[in-house]
Structure 1
Amino acid sequence: MKNSFLFLTPILFLFLSCGNSQTSKTVNNQTVSKGSITQAQSELIFDHTKVFPNNTQLAFAFIENGRVKFYGVEKRNDTIFTIKNRQNAFEIGSITKVFNATLLADFVLENKVQLDNPINPYYDFEFNNGQVITFKTLANHTSGLPRMPSNLDFDIGNQDPFSAYDAEKLKYYLANEMDLSFDEHGEYEYSNLGAGLLGYTLSKIGEKPLNQLFQERIFSKYNMPNSTIGSENVSVFLVQGQSPEGQPVQNWNLASLSGAGDMISTAEDLSEFVMAQFKDENKTLALTRAKTHTMNDTSGIGLGWHIRKGPSGENWIWHNGGTGGYTSCMVMNKDKKNGVIVLSNVSALGDPMIHIDQLCFELMDSL
């Protein structure tokens, strides 16, 4: 993977292999017991996890036919061990965008906003050159906004590269530097800036900090007590994020762009959110999954969620995420009530992070 404003890799590099001259020395000491994962699944986990540095931890949720089971591994002393970590917290990076879109869908169903409404009226200044942006185009990455704002210096050497990007810098960008690459009927162009701007706007509409809106409207509703925004708010064990070399790194604070990737969660909490997707009566979640833009014959996007055709032609709904110390992936098949969640403290700044996406989708295919 090439480092270009990172923090989510929107395209799955399923055929990319990452070499590691030391992986042959890693020992597989996983426990596979009755009622847990299959031997084939444990071998997939080992094959992908052995490339990671020591002290790497992965937490899994397997959802099959509406039933959940959890599994976890940790690499210590070049050995892969089975551990219990369903309630351990990880940064989930850009999976936050799904929750951002869920909040938007809530507001739409309450007639607070409409998807095709512009966000401009919620600001007391004119956007640069009178450009207009709608809620839907922010949620499905068709606004024409770039991946990152031009007045943010994303330095991968900075362990917390977003923390100084406050509301004043965001407003300055909107008023003076914003330049859309196309109009509201444009093509897909993944934008962390767009998602961050959506979250910031929703916070203005809700008249509360984004974390409070998430807590009141999402976390409490979907039984996610150990999810939050901000490492200082975590109430359970927070797994230490790592650099690509396996050194401890600082947790990220996305400041005014919080809605793009600031959430911290657990495999247990996220499994509750996926299980809620299987309930047909939930109109909010159904709205987020409805396709709003087609990218090609096999891929599209709803609100926040990406959509791709699975091996048998069914829709797989998914998102992944990454920060300086963590990488995650979540995929589900609503019709079969299947899903896989993978959380890790594998840095998204190194090539081995691609193994998290590969592993997530291969495990999904194994269900």
Structure 2
Amino acid sequence: MSIKLFEPITFQNVTIKNRIVMSPMCMYSCENEDGKVMDWHKTHYTSRAVGQVGLIFLEATAVHTQGRISMKDLGIWEDEHVEGLRNLVDLIHSQEAKAGIQLAHAGRKAIVEGPIYSSSSIPYNEEMEVPNEMTEQEVKQTVEDFKQAARRSKEAGFDIIELHGAHGYLINQFLSPLINKRTDRYGGSIENRFNFLKEIIQAVKTVWDGPLFVRISADEYNENGYTVEDHVVYAKWMKDLGVDLIDCSSGGVVPAKIRPFPGYQVKYAEALRKEAEIATGAVGMITSPLHAEEILQNGRADLIFLARELLRDPYWPRKAADILNYDLPAPRQYEQGW
């Protein structure tokens, strides 16, 4: 039986050398608050590529200054960001890994100076600022912001784009009935709540011809919120629009008590993969190589997204290869110690 974790996989014109993905994780490291790549990012991401991770996703990268999760987030809202991102992509590629970028807008969860925006004027909690409800013109402009960010992503040489539609950020704020109380074409029915993401996907694809992923929160952990069954509908629509993979996370839409355990979100990836017939990524406390291999062998997901585990161990693929008895070639410089 072959080891699935180390099998290549192809999305459109991009082949990833294995199924191990570095999940987007905010680093809050743009010390000048200008969204530009710093030495930290080059060290952080490239070290995981040296460790033989197949696909490296950058952290949530803001398409607008007011869409940052924090003032120290990476940005892609202006052309001046492209050079630093291109340099980072080149470093990742030099280690034979693929480079992905997660395009994001925090919406009502932005912690920045000045006004913040959402689908409706409802704050995340009592401590956070009340957002402005976006006008239809502001919605259209934000769609354009995502489009221009995708153009810059292509210019920087990224292999894959992921749209951040999870964790209660702006796209999620339009998708969710808990937050979206609009009465125009962007609110009300499930079809209308999908319109914002639909228009972003369509706009992005006018300038981007590579693989497109979308991260979702498949369970909102609220009796009035959406569950995975609702996201099966969304996933089918996204597939029809040309989305290649759904990255299945959960929560973050509204404050909720979540009791995580190893693989607690895998069931969402499995459900969408089977019911929407679309490729999925599994994420969430997957730390054991045996667990990762079981997920893939049983067709529960197509990619394994690792987050905190790759913070703890940039060379997790080497450990996985040892445990799974797979002969993983070492980087030439590390052959004597691999």
TM-score over 0.5 for the pair:
no
TM normalised by structure 2 equals 0.28
Structure that is richer in helix per residue: 2
TM normalised by structure 1 equals 0.27
Greater RCO structure (CA 8 Å; 6+ sep)? 1
